[in-house]
Structure 1
Amino acid sequence: MPQTPGGSGVVADPQGFTLRSPEGVTYRVDIDHGVLSPGNPLLASYLADRQVIAFTGPTVDSLYGSALRAYLRAWLAPGSWSTHVIRTGEQHKSLATVEQICAVASERRLGRNGVMLSVGGGVTCDVVGFAAAMFCRGVRHAKVNTTLVGQVDVGVGVKTGVNAYGSKNALGAYHPPHGSLNDPVFLSTLPPRQIRSGLGEIVKMAVIGDRELFETLEQEPGIFIRATGHDREDYVLRRSMELMLQELCPNLHEVDLARLVDFGHTFGPAIETGSGYRIAHGESVAIDMAISSHLARRLGLIDESTCDRIVGLLHALGLPVLDSGTCRPELLREAMRSARSRRGGRLHLVLPSGIGSAVFSDDVPDGVLVEALRALAGAERQAIGAGRR
C-alpha cells in the first residue's frame, strides 16, 4: 500500500521501508550489511548524542559482543554507553526480566532522551522494547534484529511484550521503534532450526498475501540454510517484511481485531505454551497453519490440492505440521475460546482461501475440527510410510 510521501502507507527504498500510519506514527525498518562495522554510520545515526544502554543475550554477546562494543566505542562519547547481558529464552520472557532491565536503566540514570538498544532475537527485542515502553513512561528503543523471526516479524512491528499467567505475550505495549536494523549477515550464524522457525512466519505471509513468494519458497526450500543466491534471499527477506508492514500499517494499534497476520496464531500460542516451549514459535505457527489448512479444506474454502501444497511446503522447509502432545481437540478448543476473549468476542480465525489469499471464520463446528485433525494425522502417517519424514 505505498502512498505519497505526505500520506499514510509503506514506502520502500533500497535501504528498507518507511511506515507512516493513518494515526501519524512513523518509523523506519532498515536493511543493510555490516551494521556493526565501525565504518557503517547507520546505527550511529539513531544513537548519536544520546545516552545508550545496550542489551544482548549470552549467545549474541559471544558472537557479536566485541563488535558491538567496538562500534559504540568508535561512534559514541566515552561514558555515554554501556552493554549488559540478559537471560533469553521463552522462560525468561517475563516481567522479572523487564524489571531487571529497568533497574539497570535506573542505576545508569537513563534520561528521557536516552535509548535502550537491543541486539538479538525476538525475545531480547520484545523484553527490551517492553522495558523501554515502561521506563519513565517511555524512552526510545532501537533494535538490531539478529534472527530470521526477528527480522520478518518482531523487527517490523510495534508490539512488545512478555509471557505471563501461562499465556504467550499476555502483557505488553505498543511502542514504535526509534530504529529497527536488519542485517542479513547475522543469519549466517543461525542454526538451521532457527532459520526454519523464521521461515514459518514467511510462509504465513506468502499464504495470506503473495503467490509469487509462496512459489519461490517451493522452488528454494533450503533458502537461508543452503546456498541459493543472494538475490533470492534478498527478495524473500524484503518481500516478507514489506507484506507484514503493509498489513500492519492501517491497523497498527489493532483497533480492528480481525487481522490476516493472525494466520498461524490462533492455535499456535496454545501449542507453543502447552509444549512448555519445546516447540519454537515459528514451529507452532507452522502446525497452526497445517491445522487451519485442513479446516479450510473441510469448510470448502480450498481444494485438496491447495491444502496439500501448503502442508507440503511446510514439510519441504523442515517444519513440523503436527504434535501429538499438544494437537488435541480439547487444547485447540481452549485456544479458540482464548482467541475469542482477545478478539472482542469473535474468533476471527484466519483460513486460506487459496495460495495468496485468506478469509476469516467465526464458526468452526466441533466435528469439523476433529475431522481436520484426523485428516492431518492420517496424512502424516502416509508421509511417514512413504519415507518423506
Structure 2
Amino acid sequence: MSGQVLDRVAHLPAGVSEDPGGFDLTAPDGTHYRVDLATGVLDPHNDLLANAVQGRRAVVFVSPTVDRLHGDRLRAYLSARTRPGQWTLHVVPTGEHHKTLAAVEHVCALAKADGLDRHGVMVAVGGGIVADVVGFAASIYARGIRYIKVNTTLVGQVDVGVGVKTGVNALQTKNMFGAYHPAHASLNDPAFLSTLPHREIRCGLAEIVKMAVILDADLFAALERHPDAFRRSGGGRPDHSHGELETYILRTSMRLMMEELCPNLQEHELARLVDFGHTFSPVVETAGGHRLEHGEAVAVDMALSAHLARLLGLADEDTCERVVRLLRRIGLPVFDPGTCTPELMTQALRASWQRRGRKLHLVVPTDIGKAAFVEELADVPEDVLRTALRALAADGERRDA
C-alpha cells in the first residue's frame, strides 16, 4: 500500500527500491519505511495521507507560512477524509531559534491536551524544522508514537524527508538533542515547491549539490547546465510539478541520499559521505546567530572543504573551481566574513572531531562525483586552513558571467 510504512520486516533484502510513486528503504537491521513522491497530496481524492493516518486520532502541526499557503486545503482534506472530532490542527512557530526542547515540550503539551493516546499519530506539514521538532516530540511522547511528514520545502523533500533523524538545537550546538525515529509516512508533493521563495530553493539546491559532488557527476553536470533549476520561469511562476529536469534532480537526489543512509541508518559508523558540507556549517550557523540559513552555511562549508582538498593535494584545481563556481551561480554564499575566521573554523574542526568519536571524518571532494575523508585534526594544519580561508574570501568577492 502506498503510504504505508515503518515496520520491522527482516525478510526483505536490505537496500533501496524505486518505483513511479517513490522509494522503499529496508535497512540491514530490518527497519523499513517508504518515501512517497506524488502530486495532489492535499487533493481530497488522494489516498496517501488518509491511508497513512489509518483512521487514528491525528494532531497536525503546521508553520505559519504553510497555514497561510495551504491551511484551507489541509483542513478541507482532513474534514473530508477523517471522522469528525478525530483531528486537530495547530500552528507552531518555526526558525532555528524555535528549534528547541521547549518547542518539543509545547508540541507534546498540545497533543496531550487534545487527548492523543499511544495509538494516535502526529502529523508535521512544513519544512525541515517542523519535521525535526514534531518528529522528536513523537519519538518521546508516551515513549514513542507514529508521526507523518508532509514535506513542503526542497530541503525537506531531498534531505529531511528521506531520513530518520529528528532533533533540536541545545547547549549552543546544532541538533544536540534528538532521536532516530523513522516517520510512519513521508509524503512529498513537488507542487509545494512552486510557493517557495528563491532563497529557500537555493538552500535546497545546496543539499542537492552536496549529493552531486560526492556521488554523481551526471547530476552535477545537469546543475551546471541549469543552475536556475526549480526557479526557471518565462515571467510567470515556474512549473515545479511537471518539469522533466526538476523531476530528474528531485528523484536522483532522494535516491542517492536514501542509498547512502540505508546501510548506516542509525550512524553506528561515524564516517559518512553525506556529512559533506556539515563540518564547518554548524559553527557558521550558530556563531552567526542563524543569519545564514542552513543551506547557505552548507554552501560555505562545501566551498571551504573544496579549497582544503585542493591545498592538501586531494583534488585538482579544476574540481575545486567547478564546485565553488556552481555554488556561486546558484546564488549561494561561499564565504561569510563574520564567521569564516581561522579561530571559529578551528573551533568547528575540533567540535566535529569530538562529536565524531575523536576522528575528524572531514569529507572533501577528490573529483566531481567522488569524495574522501580527512581523518585527523593534524591533517589540516593551521597554515593550510588560513590559506583556504583567504582563497574563500577572494571567491566571495568574485562574480561569474
**What is the TM-score normalised by the length of structure 2?**
0.94
TM-aligned CA deviation for residue 6 of structure 1: 2.5
Q: CA RMSD of the aligned region, Å?
A: 1.3
The one of 46, 51, 56 aligned to 1:50? 56
Correspondent of 1:338 among 351, 361, 386: 351
Which is worse superposed, 188-197 or 4-13?
Answer: 4-13
Deviation, structure 1 residue 302:
1.0
Structure 2 residue 369 is the aligned partner of structure 1 residue 356: yes
| Alignment correspondent of 2:389 | 373
**SS of residue in 2 equivalent to 1:53:** strand
Amino acid at match of 1:264: G
Contact 2:335–2:395 under 8 Å retained in 1: no
Q: Which stretch has the larger CA shift, 228-237 or 328-337? A: 228-237
User: How many angstroms apart in 2 are the aligned matches of 1:380 and 1:34?
Assistant: 40
Deviations 1:277-331 (A, max 9, x none): 1100000000000000000000111111111100000011000000000000110
* Equivalent in 265, 277, 286 of residue 264 of structure 1: 277
* Residue 324 of structure 1: aligned partner: 337
Match of 2:99 among 71, 93, 97: 93
1:168 aligns with 2:174: yes
String of CA shifts for 1:153-176, please: whole Å, max 9, x gaps: 110000000011111111100000
Q: Tell me how far apart the structure 1 counterparts of residues 167 and 147 of structure 2 sit (CA, whole Å).
A: 13
Q: C-alpha distance in 2, partners of 1:368/1:12?
A: 43
One-letter code aligned to 2:283 = A
| d(CA) in 1 for partners of 2:96, 2:43 | 30
Say whether residues 1:133 and 2:139 are aligned partners: yes
Offset from partner CA, 1:57-88 (integer Å, 9 cap, x none): 11100111111111011111001111001111
Question: What residue number does 2:322 align with?
Answer: 309
Given that 2:319 and 2:366 are in contact with CA atoms closer than 8 Å, whether structure 1 keeps it comes out as no
Q: State the AA in 1 paired with 2:215.
A: G
Could you say which residue in structure 1 is the equivalent of 2:82?
Answer: 76
Match of 1:251 among 246, 264, 269: 264
Letter in structure 2 aligned against 1:375: A
Secondary structure in 2 matching 1:341: helix
Note if 1:231 corresponds to 2:233: no
* Aligned-pair CA distance for 1:370: 0.7
Aligned length: 382
TM-score normalized with structure 1 length = 0.96
Does structure 1 residue 295 correspond to structure 2 residue 308? yes
Q: Give % identity.
A: 59
Which deviates the most, 256-265 or 226-235?
Answer: 226-235
Q: Counterpart of 1:282 in 2: which secondary structure?
A: helix
* In structure 2, distance between residues paired with 1:374 and 1:103: 49
Matches within 5 A, 1:82-121: 82-121=88-127
1:193 maps to what in 2? Answer: 199
Question: What is the CA distance between 1:199 and its match in structure 2?
Answer: 0.3
Structure 2 alignment gaps of length 5 or more: 1-9
Tell me the secondary structure at the aligned position of residue 13 of structure 2.
coil
Hey, what does 2:165 align to over in structure 1?
A: 159
Where do 4+ consecutive residues of structure 1 move more than 3 Å? none
**Deviation sequence 1:192-229 (CA, Å, 0-9, x none):** 00000000000000000000000000011110011487
Q: Distance in 1 between matches of 2:11 and 2:325?
A: 41
Structure 2 distance, partners of 1:16, 1:170, is 31
What is the rounded CA distance, in whole Å, between the counterparts of 1:45 and 1:130 in structure 2? 22
Distance 1:307 1:286 in 2: 13
Q: Distance in 2 between matches of 1:301 and 1:275?
A: 30
**Taking structure 1 as reference, are residues 225 and 248 closer, same or farther at Cα in structure 2, changes over 3 Å only?**
same
Matched, 1:279 2:314: no
Contact 1:48 1:75 in 2 (8 A): no
Q: Which runs of 5+ in 1 are unaligned?
A: none
Following the alignment from structure 1 to structure 2, what is the Cα–Cα distance between the partners of residues 379 and 98?
Answer: 40
Amino acid aligned to 1:371 = T
CA deviation after TM superposition for structure 1 residue 5, in Å: 8.2
Distance in 2, Cα, partners of 1:198 & 1:253: 23
One-letter code aligned to 1:61: D
The reply to whether residue 388 of structure 1 matches residue 394 of structure 2 is no
Q: Deviations over 1:10-53 (max 9, x none)?
A: 00000000000001110000000010011111111101221100
Give the AA of the match of 1:151: Q
Q: Which amino acid aligns with 2:48?
A: L
CA contact (8 A) 1:7 1:20 kept: yes
Per-residue CA deviation, residues 93-136 of structure 1 (Å, 9 max, x unaligned), is 01111101000111112111111000000000100000000100
Asked if the contact 1:158–1:174 (Cα under 8 Å) also holds between the matched residues in 2, the reply is yes
Asked whether the 8 Å contact 2:166–2:179 carries over to 1, the reply is: yes
